[in-house]
Chains A and B, each alone.
Chain A
């Protein structure tokens, strides 16, 4: 049972435009949602998170939106840069544990 889903395995965006990565979840008990970025041969790097009591969190070029009624979150990157090219993982957890449930990832490619 895949509790966190990223239905788009890949996304290609032109430099300077907006990248929108999507994530759906099924478990309403999740309290936190996180986005990680992963380059080849490196571990995942934390990008941004959002608590279930909020609907938006912003950090520089990165903004995460949470729609609890739809059990959907998205990561917006504006403007996109070539260095953003990586695999992006959505993850969810409850407040009582560090256990993260990850999606399968979306490969973002930003081209000039």
Chain B
């Protein structure tokens, strides 16, 4: 079975631009979460979506937004890019959206570089 897939794998943007990152969850998984990982740190929670509804939001500015589609895939959008947005963006999916006994499974991420 295919795991969590993310696209693109790498992306280079300049300050002020907008970016859209995409994620397809594991088949049957209804929950998708997004994380940002900067060098030397653990992943930081950005959003969780379950059944197309936002279930949780981390401490990120309104420039960050996301949505989930009827097929449970998801997009993360970031507007007005800043140098500090350079990071690895990870998508994770899980079956039911809560509980550590149904752990999240991660994709390999999108490496975003801002020039």
Q: Given A32-B100, A93-B100, is A98 in contact with B107 using a C-beta cutoff of 8 Å? A: no
Complex-state Cα separation, A51 to B99, whole angstroms: 9
Please determine whether A41 and B94 come into contact, CB atoms closer than 8 angstroms: no
Contact of A32 among B4, B56, B99, B105 (CB under 8 A): B99
Contact of B98 among A4, A36, A97 (CB under 8 A): A97
Which one of B4, B97, B98, B100 has the highest number of Cβ atoms from chain A below 10 Å of its Cβ?
Answer: B100
Chain A hits for B41, CB < 8 A: 104-105
Chain B residue at smallest Cβ distance from A46: B103
Chain B hits for A89, CB < 8 A: 42-43
Contact of A44 among B43, B56, B97 (CB under 8 A): B43
Chain A hits for B40, CB < 8 A: 104
Chain B, interface residues (CB within 8 Å), range? 20 to 34
Please determine whether B104 and A98 come into contact, CB atoms closer than 8 angstroms: yes
Contact of A42 among B33, B44, B108 (CB under 8 A): B108
Chain A hits for B33, CB < 8 A: 98-100
Chain B hits for A50, CB < 8 A: 100
Within 8 A of A (CB), among B39-89: 40-45, 48, 50, 55-56, 58
Complex-state Cα separation, A45 to B43, whole angstroms: 13
A13 to chain B, nearest CB (A): 21
B24 lies within 8 A of chain A by Cβ: no
Ordered by A's residue number, 7 sampled pairs between the chains whose C-beta atoms are within 8 Å are A32-B101, A34-B100, A42-B108, A43-B106, A46-B103, A51-B100, A89-B43
B70 to chain A, nearest CB (A): 20
Please determine whether A31 and B100 come into contact, CB atoms closer than 8 angstroms: yes
Chain A residue at smallest Cβ distance from B99: A95
8 additional contacts, CB 8 Å, given A43-B92, A50-B100, A103-B42? A43-B109, A44-B43, A93-B100, A96-B98, A98-B48, A99-B48, A100-B92, A102-B42
Contact of B104 among A4, A41, A46 (CB under 8 A): A46
B 12-56 binary contact with A (CB < 8 Å = 1; else 0): 000000000000000000010101000011111100101000011
Chain A hits for B109, CB < 8 A: 43
